[in-house]
Chains A and B, each alone.
Chain A
Amino acid sequence: MTCIKIVVKQVGKRHKRELRLAPHATIADLLRKLDQNRETIVVRRNGKIVVEEERLSDGDLIEILPIVTGG
């Protein structure tokens, strides 16, 4: 099985990261890997806000936007 390659950008952090994931991996799988709780973030996939159950495709750009700000 070949892996898929995606780019992850965590908004507020400077660097983008490239990650390899198993084919059929979902955004929820990715969040688990990054230790991110879906309650505290919004995910954009190629610019669109999507649900965490969507399957990733090779070449996806995933942006993770923290929404819990305090105050």
Chain B
Amino acid sequence: MLKCTFCGRRAAYNRRYAGVLLCDRCLIKSVEKRFRRAIAEHKLLSPGERVAVAVSGGKDSIAAMHLLVEHCGRKNCELVAITIDEGIKGYRDQSLPIARENARSLGIEHYVVSFKRTFGATLDQIVRRAKARKTELNPCTYCGVMRRSLLNQAARELGADKLATAHNLDDEVQAIMLNYVRADFSRLHRLGPSYPPREGFVPRIKPLREIPEKEVALYALLRGLEVHLAVCPYTGGIHTEIRDFLNQLEANHPNSKFMILRMFDRLKPQLAQIVPEFEMRRCKNCGEPTSANICKSCELLEGLGLERRQKTLISY
């Protein structure tokens, strides 16, 4: 049996990048401390704010919701939860009840917004259409763009001051690498612990950004939280290759993920100076903020012969 570096109890986690072993209690304490530190250091939340948290039911978002509810209790913030139901059979239909149940047990208002109602098609249907039309866009492109747009709109309609997402260290580093590989400058420069306010956008915050995925998972499991642990049927493609590559790198060279993040954070202020400023407009189809004539979601829908059905998402 191997012992916790800090208290001598049985170790549950080897934090190799720091050269320490942690028991269940010390791991939980450490994750909570990092979460609080991220909020303080990057001024993610102010007392009295209304926060919307995006909750899928997976380990990250369930952990984020539990961490936020405790934080909001202390700082007098108000928390509401939003789940986007993309319509992924055998996946989202299983995680959604878990999201709902966690919100209920914590006494948090919970809103569900579905692709089906808003766009007239589930992601499963969208993927079938995309295949039939040979668009060569992968499911995650549709899913990601449309979900982001709905989350922002729902948070705005709910009067949220901040939109919290559960992106962990791994998610963030994968996004950094993906934008490098695609040379997507404007997306790259939008990454970070928070995204500054722009008209029509609820400022996003990522309080788990400096916590590795495995530690978030351990936090959820060791606290005995009810989470959905299944793999989305659409994972694959370049996202998965980048993820596997980074995990291999980390396994052989612990701390690599943090180094990539730190390097990016140091470069970011320089990036801001060279990214062209663009004017915010309103999508002529749906009214959501965009830099073009129509927003990315509406553009994707158009390419599939679909259109947005519902303008307002949240009805009280």
Contacts and interface: CB of A to CB of B under 8 A. Distances in A.
Contacts of A67: 59, 213-214, 217, 229
Interface stretch (B6-14, B124-132, B304-312): B6-14
Nearest to A70: B235
A29 interface: no
Interface in B54-69: 56, 58-59
A10 to B, nearest CB: 13
A51 B14 contact: yes
Interface residues of A, number: 21
**Binding site secondary structure of chain A:** loop
B296 interface: no
A51 B23 CA distance: 9
B230 interface: yes
B288 to A, nearest CB: 22
Interface in A55-71: 65-71
Interface in B216-234: 217-218, 221-222, 228-232, 234
B240 interface: yes
Contacts of A51: 2, 11-14, 21
Interface in B1-35: 1-2, 10-14, 21, 24
Which residue, B24, B221, B239, has most C-beta atoms of chain A within 10 A? B221
Given A67-B213, A68-B243, A70-B240, A39 B221 contact: no
B218 A49 contact: yes
Contacts of A68: 170, 213, 231, 243, 247
Interface residues of B, number: 38
A47 interface: no
A65 B229 contact: yes
A71 B232 contact: yes
A71 B307 CA distance: 24
Contacts of B218: 42, 49
B168 to A, nearest CB: 11
Interface of B: 1-2, 10-14, 21, 24, 56, 58-59, 88, 91, 143, 170, 212-214, 217-218, 221-222, 228-232, 234-235, 239-240, 243-244, 247-248, 250-251
